[in-house]
Amino acid sequence: MAIEQTYLMVKPDGVQRGLCGEIVSRFERKGLKIVAMKFTAIKKETAENHYGEHKGKGFYNSLISYITSAPVLAMVLEGDNAISVCRNLMGKTNPQEAALGTIRGDLGMMTGMNLIHGSDSPESAAREISLFFRPEELMIYKRTADDWIYE
């Protein structure tokens, strides 16, 4: 088993559409464990840091404006291969190309409003988690359900 943590964020469109519960429940039903969660507004400086790799691209300014326009639900999930499991549950970035059964495939319409962000590597997960959570906000606990999820 490769237990890892990943950062996920229900973006402003997901919050505004009232989809937080639906989205979180998909990850929980899969068997992933919530170790941190907060409802927050992202400051411009944090958004610029989070999306720094996109600086200079044509969509950068609108991305920063969008992600700071309304609250988001930030979370850290943990589980076996959590990063790839979460990315599979999210679906392709473009919801019109995402498979049915994925969050974006079932609930999204446009790339710019694709409901959710998830880390794409262990390195980005560590960086993103540290941007949005202090170490003491990450809960370490045994979940009894894990005995029924993992062999």
Catalytic residues: 117
Task: Give the burial string for 40-78 (b: 16+ CB within 10 Å, else e).
Answer: eebeeeebbebbeeeeeeeeeeebbebbbeebbbbbbbb
| Distances 105 to 14, 57, 65, 99, 119 between C-alpha atoms, Å | 13, 26, 24, 5, 18
The SS3 assignment for 46 reads: helix
